């Protein structure tokens, strides 16, 4: 299957693994890339730019295929040294960067000067158009269903993707709620050139995270995610757990008076404890509604091959039947 995205990134299948905090290590990125998709190392999971340089080198030992690095611009307690991370990406010879969060204008000149292709992940048509206007090569359009930060507009992909298709000239992939061959065919039908998955790739054998997390995704249904931090305009879709319930209770109690410091116990520094140590209730962690479609823990190769085979079957059988 050739699309503008497979051509742009030099990959076999139009399937991208989005950056995920404390999930997107070299092992997962390489496994996705080796299976013909585009794997992504999460830049800011690495505490320093030197650590990112080492992670990029480790990934290169595991794959000779293209892979990406994610750079996320979200409100954080201490502003990361973005120029140093960009230097590590450029020096590491990485060809593709996924940016997300704020407008990536501050890092774009350095990335473009180095010939790096940039795919910006955003949750609205207006931000997609902005990304296009500042010179991004592609966008990842993240619908309301997505795990992580869905923005504040709450537009699901059945509306958001065709709206993006109507307005954008650069290619885009569908992100949020994507799980299988049905998702891929639907994404293509709605005008996307491929799909980006987060949650689905966590429940794979190579995702270097605790088995408790993978099992939680297999066990959860599409009803089990919650939106937290809405009053702070930093909405995050997370798996429901004791910490999410505690956090939502604080939001209800404090109303408009809620400040970030009130919820530090539920959000600060929890990712390594959940993802690496498997402490499932220690804090809130991103998870998409698509967890309701996850029933197993295949290898990345099995997952991608299954997606492509199902997509091709649907395209062939549906059109023949019609």
Site residues for ligand FMN per CB under 6 A: 18-21, 23, 42, 70, 72, 100, 121, 142, 145-148, 175-178, 196-200, 285-288, 290
Least distance from ligand FMN to the Cβ atom of residue 322, Å: 29
Contacts of 249 (CB under 8 A, 6+ apart): none
Whichever of 127 and 200 has its CB closer to ligand FMN, that residue is 200
Relative orientation angle of helices 82-91 and 49-62, to the nearest 10 degrees: 30
Whichever of 213 and 308 has its CB closer to ligand FMN, that residue is 213
Least distance from ligand FMN to the Cβ atom of residue 129, Å: 19
Least distance from ligand FMN to the Cβ atom of residue 288, Å: 3
Contacts of 147 (CB under 8 A, 6+ apart): 176, 198, 199, 225, 237, 286, 287, 288, 289, 290, 291
Whichever of 254 and 268 has its CB closer to ligand FMN, that residue is 268
Least distance from ligand FMN to the Cβ atom of residue 44, Å: 6
Geometric angle at alpha carbon 143, from 39 and 140, rounded to 5° = 40
Contacts of 142 (CB under 8 A, 6+ apart): 121, 122, 123, 148, 149, 150, 151, 175, 176, 196
Least distance from ligand FMN to the Cβ atom of residue 138, Å: 14
Least distance from ligand FMN to the Cβ atom of residue 281, Å: 16
| C-alpha span between 268 and 313 (Å, rounded) | 45
Whichever of 21 and 214 has its CB closer to ligand FMN, that residue is 21
Query: CA 301 from chain center: how many Å?
Result: 18
221 SS3 class: coil
Whichever of 34 and 70 has its CB closer to ligand FMN, that residue is 70
Q: Would you say how long the chain is, in residues?
A: 322
Whichever of 39 and 147 has its CB closer to ligand FMN, that residue is 147
């Amino acid at each position: 299957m050739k699309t503008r995205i497979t051509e742009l990134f030099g990959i076999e299948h139009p399937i991208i693994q989005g950056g995920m905090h404390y999930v997107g290590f070299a092992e997962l990125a390489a496994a996705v890339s080796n299976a013909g998709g585009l794997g992504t190392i999460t830049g800011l999971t690495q505490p320093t730019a030197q650590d990112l340089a080492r992670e990029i080198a480790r990934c290169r030992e595991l794959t000779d295929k293209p892979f990406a690095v994610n750079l996320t611009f979200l409100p954080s307690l201490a502003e990361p040294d973005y120029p140093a991370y960009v230097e590590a990406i450029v020096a590491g010879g990485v060809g593709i960067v996924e940016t997300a969060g704020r407008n990536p204008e501050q890092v774009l000149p350095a990335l473009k000067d180095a010939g790096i292709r940039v795919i910006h992940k955003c949750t609205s048509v207006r931000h997609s158009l902005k990304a296009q206007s500042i010179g991004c090569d592609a966008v990842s359009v993240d619908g309301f269903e997505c795990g992580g930060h869905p923005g504040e507009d709450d537009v699901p992909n059945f509306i958001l993707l065709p709206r993006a298709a109507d307005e954008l000239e650069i290619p885009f992939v569908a992100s949020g709620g994507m799980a299988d061959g049905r998702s891929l065919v639907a994404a293509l039908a709605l005008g996307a050139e491929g799909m980006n998955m987060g949650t689905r790739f966590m429940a794979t054998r190579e995702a270097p995270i605790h088995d408790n997390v993978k099992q939680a995704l297999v066990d959860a249904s599409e009803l089990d995610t919650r939106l937290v931090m809405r009053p702070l305009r930093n909405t995050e879709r997370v798996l429901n757990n004791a910490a999410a319930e505690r956090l939502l209770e604080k939001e209800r109690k404090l109303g408009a008076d809620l400040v970030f410091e009130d919820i530090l116990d539920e959000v600060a520094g929890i990712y390594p404890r959940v993802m690496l140590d498997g402490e499932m209730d220690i804090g809130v962690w991103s998870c998409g509604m698509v967890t309701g479609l996850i029933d197993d823990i295949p290898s990345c190769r099995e997952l991608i091959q299954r997606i492509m085979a199902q997509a091709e079957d649907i395209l062939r059988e549906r059109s023949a039947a019609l």
